[in-house]
């Protein structure tokens, strides 16, 4: 969601309202509880970071986040095609954003998980972005 907001230049003050609107089932019950506890005015001024923090506390327990982080760190290309390993990388990176907080971190981690023969070909030096690396690979 954060990437979509960056790409679309979505207004900061509308992110929480936009994201919370389509919640359903357990997530909707949780959001209604937050609304009841904090009050409607507090929800109107809630920042995106506060929403994400509350959401992660509720739906991504620390033990699960740690497991996802381990899976991301242990990800290495074996028999996967470039398309397959890139998809795995991008999927897992969404779940552990602190490990890919900036473009350089993404590039280093992506390069590290590739097979040696591909990693040497791609190299970090000639690529400004992760997308450049993926295209080169």
pLDDT for 78-90, tens place per residue? 999 999 999 999 9
The total number of structural domains that make up the chain: 2
Long-range pairs for 74-79 at CB < 8 Å and ≥24 separation? 75/113, 76/113, 77/113, 77/114, 77/115, 77/118, 78/115
Q: Are residues 80 and 104 in the same domain?
A: yes
Q: Are residues 66 and 54 in the same domain?
A: no
Percent of the chain topping pLDDT 90: 23
Q: Are residues 121 and 72 in the same domain?
A: yes
- Residue 61's SS3 state is coil
* Cα–Cα dist 92/14, whole Å: 27
* Single residue among 59, 79, 108 that ends a domain in this structure: 59
Q: Are residues 67 and 116 in the same domain?
A: yes
* Single residue among 32, 59, 86 that ends a domain in this structure: 59
Using one digit for the tens of pLDDT, what is the confidence trace for 30-87? 888 888 898 888 888 888 888 888 887 788 777 888 888 899 999 999 999 999 999 9
**Does the pLDDT value for residue 3 go beyond 60?**
no
Q: Are residues 128 and 67 in the same domain?
A: yes
* Cα–Cα dist 102/45, whole Å: 27
Q: Are residues 51 and 84 in the same domain?
A: no
Domain boundaries, position 14: 2-59
């Amino acid at each position: 969601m954060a990437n979509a907001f960056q790409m679309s230049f979505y207004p900061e003050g509308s992110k929480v309202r936009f994201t919370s609107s389509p919640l359903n089932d357990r997530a909707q019950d949780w959001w209604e509880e937050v609304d009841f506890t904090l009050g409607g005015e507090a929800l109107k001024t809630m920042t995106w970071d506060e929403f994400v923090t509350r959401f992660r506390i509720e739906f991504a327990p620390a033990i699960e986040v740690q497991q996802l982080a381990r899976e991301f760190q242990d990800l290495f290309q074996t028999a996967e095609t470039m398309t397959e390993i890139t998809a795995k990388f991008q999927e897992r990176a969404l779940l552990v954003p602190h490990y890919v907080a900036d473009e350089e971190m993404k590039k280093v981690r992506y390069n590290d998980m590739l097979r040696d023969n591909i990693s040497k070909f791609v190299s970090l030096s000639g690529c400004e972005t992760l997308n450049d690396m993926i295209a080169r690979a």
